[in-house]
Structure 1
Amino acid sequence: MAIDYDKLMNWKFDPVEQEYTSKDSILYALGVGLSADPLDMDQLRFTYEEDQLALPTMAVVLAYPGFFLKDPQFGVDWVKVLHGEQGIEIHKTLPASGHVIGENRFTEIIDKGEGRGALLYSERKVFEKSSGDLLATLTSTTFARGDGGFGGPAREAPKPHDLPDRAPDSIVETATLPQAALIYRLSGDFNPLHADPRVAKSAGFEKPILHGLASLGVAGHAVLKDACGYNPDRFKSFKLRFTSPVYPGETIVTEIWKDGEDVSFRCRVKERDVVVLNNGYARVA
């Protein structure tokens, strides 16, 4: 089995249509840890229906096409794929409820060589159905560990964002709940790796791990709080690299550097002193 480069690059995805409600936005916000202090009025704007706001990072769960790489016709060894990087570009502030359409495509596939895997770059554009306005563009890098040497283009991957060479300007600590993954999966990612201890052990983990996109949501909350004053209108773009898993119940420490509109960040787990999200960059208004 080998990656079918031409098929992937020319694949026409069916549009994904989704109607989401205020309840879905609240559930997403709770899944990434908001309102651990239920008296925090800034966070309550995202977890209570009165004058409700949507978290910008919720764009990652809108019009999600599902785990299409599992389809054998693509030739991807799906058991060995990892989510390497994720980017979010917000074009219009997300409403707390809405009807959206997602359009997906592959933008590039890099062959790193035999035994070194392949990088699959994909893009999702999320449109508001009623107006046709583009709400968000999502970019994702998938590392297919078992698929190098298929004969595709071999070039260097784009370099990640460099963090400033100074102490962070601020630090935000967020304790995750032991049941965080069980809550977050209700936003659409039902991979049993995040729920079933037996599946987690078979994959080499001591217990179920937190979704990478849930960790991303924690980092997004930290940037929204520290650099945007909880104003979603100021949150314009966000990207990062996944470097290590988080276990539900651990504390995520987000280190933030602010240089005008440019915000750099990384996240480490306090209990193990392991960097779990790296090379983070956000642009704020």
Structure 2
Amino acid sequence: MPIDPSAALDAPPSVTPISWQESDVLLYHLALGAGADPTDVRQLAYATERGEEVLPTFAVVAPTLRATSPPAVSFPGVDVDLSTILHASQRVELHRPIPRDGKAEVSTGVAALYDKGSAAIIVVDSEAVGSDGEPLWTSSMRMYSRGEGGFGGDRGPDGPPAPPDRAPDHILETTILPQQALLYRLLGDRNPLHSDPEVASAAGFPRPILHGLCTYGAVCRAVVDRVLDGRSSAVRSLEARFAGVVFPGETLRTAVWVASDRILFTTQVLDRDGAPALSGGEIVVAAHEATA
């Protein structure tokens, strides 16, 4: 059986040392579309040494920066085929701003397993501790594995709450560059679904799709710039569900609602009549940082 709940949940986390440099952060920002306008001072703050900002979503790529093979879903008690996996949701909690150069130890393990009958939800948590011994970030990834349910586990919590029943405070448009998936794969996710037209066709797509985490980061940057005036250090946590695919070259429309220290959002694809991309989006910020 590919999933053994007892073995997966009882296993100690794996601990991996990681490091990153300013050039890694700059590449990450470029892979999210920063620098599309090379005369925009705010974009240059992300894309050149003149800035100090590090988007909080960098935490999701820092552990895999130098990977050159397609990712594998393999943990004690969990060994499933990558082709059965859909990235369901992602959450990042920042304990302090991420530096542009740094070292950390990342502890990773299966935190929960949910049984959806025909599928399993695998929750993998990672905690990063800086070289000074203090926590940097915690990330939580939910993966939907087709055909791996039926092991008799809990079905898991309900989905995220619906957005407020009122007009959004902001509407943001984000254009995904045609080459954006090719840039993003250099950060460590070499899944050919994002680069090889034949692999994408075999999976039922007309062309390679964008990494869900690239959409996640690009929308984070758009919200930080528009709602937080570029202050990425104000973000305490960010969570979203992946509701549909995005193709490089498309334009995203993000509806944003601001409520005290919470920013709620949903993202759709303009090019395909509002097809869903992200749902249940929530950014928690430091008190009094959000502006409607």
Give deviations 1:126-154, integer Å, cap 9, x for gaps: 1212x112111101111111101123x23
The one-letter code matched in structure 1 to 2:85 is V
Query: Comparing 57-66 with 84-93, which one deviates more in the overlay?
Result: 57-66
**Alpha-carbon RMSD:** 1.8
Give deviations 1:162-185, integer Å, cap 9, x for gaps: 211111111111111111000011
Structure 1 residue 283 corresponds to structure 2 residue 284: yes
Instruction: Please give the secondary structure, in 2, of the residue aligned with 1:15.
Output: strand
Paired-residue identity, %: 36
> TM-score normalised to the size of structure 1?
0.93
Q: 1:223, 1:70 → 2: CA distance?
A: 34
Query: Comparing 13-22 with 198-207, which one deviates more in the overlay?
Result: 13-22
Give deviations 1:218-261, integer Å, cap 9, x for gaps: 11012211221111221111101001010000011111111121
8 Å contact from structure 2 (residues 11, 76) kept in 1? no
Structure 1 residue 92 corresponds to structure 2 residue 93: no
| Counterpart residue number, 1:124 | 126
The one-letter code matched in structure 2 to 1:126 is A
8 Å contact from structure 1 (residues 63, 126) kept in 2? no
| Counterpart residue number, 1:6 | 6
> TM-score normalised to the size of structure 2?
0.91
8 Å contact from structure 2 (residues 110, 124) kept in 1? yes
Deviation at residue 57 of structure 1 after TM alignment: 1.0
Q: 1:187, 1:234 → 2: CA distance?
A: 24
Give deviations 1:108-138, integer Å, cap 9, x for gaps: 101122xx21111111111212x11211110
| Counterpart residue number, 1:139 | 140
Instruction: Please give the secondary structure, in 1, of the residue aligned with 2:14.
Output: coil
| Counterpart residue number, 1:60 | 60
Instruction: Please give the secondary structure, in 1, of the residue aligned with 2:183.
Output: helix
The one-letter code matched in structure 1 to 2:73 is L
Which runs of 5 or more structure 1 residues have no equivalent in the other structure?
A: none
Query: Residues 42, 137 of structure 1: CA spacing in aligned structure 2 closer, same or farther, 3 A cutoff?
Result: same
Which runs of 5 or more structure 2 residues have no equivalent in the other structure?
A: 287-292
- In the TM superposition, 1:94-113 aligns within 5 A as 94-113=98-117
Give deviations 1:28-56, integer Å, cap 9, x for gaps: 00101112111211221111112432111
Tell me how many residue pairs correspond in the alignment: 281
The one-letter code matched in structure 1 to 2:164 is P
| Counterpart residue number, 2:82 | 78
